[in-house]
Structure 1
Amino acid sequence: MTEYADRVRVAEAAARAGADVAAGGFRTGIAIEEKGQKTDVVTQADRDAQRAVIEHIRQEFPDDAIVGEEDDELKAVPESGPVWVIDPIDGTNNYVRDIPVWVTSVAAVVDGEPVAAANAMPALGDYYTAGPDGAFLNGNELAVSEKTDLDRFVICPTIWWDYDRRDEYSRACEVIVERFGDMRRFGCAQAVLGMVAAGSLEATITNVEVNPWDTVAGVYLVRQAGGTVTDLEGERWTHESQGLVASNGTRHDAVLEAAQEIEQIRTA
């Protein structure tokens, strides 16, 4: 799999380049814009960081497609060919509140499958990478949690439930505290997926539609660290799936059942 070594290297370098730009605006009182909803915000740092990521990728892969959250980049992953999936600041709501849990995310995808990923968290000094040889945090190889006791599981409900779907959000929290040991929420899907890969969390669940820039890199991290990621039907997760269930794999069936309970409210 050495054919993807260059993409692993470029993913990490591009994520670091974008993260450096974003870090320059962190905790500086940067202006905030709303993209449509009061909780969907963007800053100039998002745009500047995305440009820095793209410029870095284009130096070595000038013809590859790019899927990105901001500006006029593609919003869906092509079925074939090489593509880069980027999020300049995943967790912008944390970013503008001076909370250091945010990520500059870059993933390389070939024919619909991730082959490299990098999630940079400069405010915490954490840099996640993944390639064919595994997943790493600050150069140290990652492995998912080995816990099997559901009473010891810590699970995060992730992605945003809109205001008209708060009953699903409430149910997500309810099923987690009913079925598992504890719950966390961080407001940054890529950070959460990194935590599952690192064994800090046993799982994360959502039933909502997910964007590729919020998920692809982190899903690859989890899988390369030995975890399991499926859709709500228990089928292998892809960038076109609805919902996302990522776990350490030891009790994925129980985690999946919890996610399905959330979805039952939507379809009732």
Structure 2
Amino acid sequence: MSERADCALRAAEAGGAVALGSFRDGIAVETKADKTDVVTQADRDAQETVVTTIREDYAEDAIVGEEDDELRDVPNSGPAWIIDPIDGTNNFVRGMQMWTTSVAATVDGEAVAGASVCPALEDTYLLDEGEAYRNGDVLSVSDETDPEAFTIVPTIWWPQDRRGEYAAICRGIVERFGDMRRFGSAQLELALCAAGAVEGVVTNVEANPWDSVVGAGLVEAAGGTVTDIDGNPWRHDSRGLVASNGEAHDLVLAAAREAEAKADAER
């Protein structure tokens, strides 16, 4: 294991253990931007633990994080870390197991390693040196080629004033593919795409780097395709995120663009 992958894994495991200690324990919930954007003390405590673990080995590196006073943007030069102490906090506060603690290591804005730990599911996803792993086993995206057998996931979140786009993207999925799922944690959804459990993960909104960088890296390392809404190679600052097993990616893109068509019609 590379040094940065080892650090990302140790930090994610440490933060995940802190979060797990408060899981299903009646923790107080606060709201941020809207009623579905929630945060808990467990998020803050887990992030502090992740940061402390990283700082033991990389004291000078930039850290980008969802909570508290960390940076919000990924530096385009030099090394940095991107952390999400609990991706899927809505699941966490409802006692559902689909949440992760995710840590990505980047250099010049590109992911070089990362880990998404799912303590309540007892699964650990690791990105290291161009390979994707779950619990030590190498991952590969689904080899399904028939869109009527695909399962596609609409991900991230559309605010209340953009729910027409959410509805449009769901319609685009169900009209083109066999089935649809939504798990409430983008990092987990992308990891599941890398593992071959679903064939695609789509959104037309800009994904925060802490919600997406590890997962997008896992999909690519597992042999999949990740683009922005226009079909260009995805970056942490792209608009939209469309990940697939690489089969019928244009059709997966078309489903995501249903939301764009709705947005354009309402402008």
Please indicate the TM-score interval, normalised by the length of the shorter structure.
over 0.9
Q: In the alignment, does 2:184 pair up with 1:187?
A: yes
- The letter of the residue matching 2:259 is I
Q: In the alignment, does 2:101 pair up with 1:97?
A: no
Q: C-alpha distance in 2, partners of 1:83/1:133?
A: 18
| Residue of structure 1 in register with 2:116 after alignment | 119
Q: In the alignment, does 2:202 pair up with 1:219?
A: no
Q: Secondary structure at the match of 2:204?
A: strand
Q: May I ask how many residue pairs the two structures share in their alignment?
A: 265
Q: Secondary structure at the match of 2:83?
A: strand
- 2:19–2:86 Cα contact (<8 Å) kept: yes
Q: Secondary structure at the match of 1:147?
A: coil
Q: TM-score, normalised on structure 2?
A: 0.98
Q: In the alignment, does 2:203 pair up with 1:206?
A: yes
Q: In the alignment, does 2:165 pair up with 1:168?
A: yes
Q: C-alpha distance in 2, partners of 1:123/1:193?
A: 17
Q: Secondary structure at the match of 2:28?
A: coil
Q: Secondary structure at the match of 1:75?
A: coil
Q: C-alpha distance in 2, partners of 1:77/1:133?
A: 20
Q: C-alpha distance in 1, partners of 2:28/2:95?
A: 13
The range that moved more, 252-261 or 93-102, is 252-261
Residue 168 of structure 1, CA deviation: 0.6
- The letter of the residue matching 1:154 is T
| Residue of structure 1 in register with 2:248 after alignment | 251
Q: C-alpha distance in 1, partners of 2:105/2:261?
A: 34
Q: Secondary structure at the match of 1:108?
A: strand
Trace 1:132-143 onto structure 2 (pairs within 5 A): 132-143=129-140
Q: In the alignment, does 2:94 pair up with 1:81?
A: no
Q: In the alignment, does 2:45 pair up with 1:44?
A: no
Q: In the alignment, does 2:155 pair up with 1:158?
A: yes
Runs of 4 or more consecutive aligned structure 1 residues displaced over 4 Å after TM superposition: none
Q: C-alpha distance in 2, partners of 1:99/1:65?
A: 32
* Superposed CA offset, 1:168-216 (max 9, x none): 1111111111100000001110000000000000001000121000000
Q: Identity over aligned residues, as a percent?
A: 59
Q: Secondary structure at the match of 1:156?
A: strand
Q: TM-score, normalised on structure 1?
A: 0.98
Q: Secondary structure at the match of 2:213?
A: helix
Q: C-alpha distance in 2, partners of 1:36/1:167?
A: 19
Considering only aligned residues, what root-mean-square deviation do their CA atoms show, in Å?
A: 0.8
| Residue of structure 2 in register with 1:6 after alignment | 3
Residue 265 of structure 1, CA deviation: 0.9
Show structure 1 runs of 5+ residues with no match: none
Residue 36 of structure 1, CA deviation: 2.7
Residue 133 of structure 1, CA deviation: 4.4
Q: In the alignment, does 2:104 pair up with 1:107?
A: yes
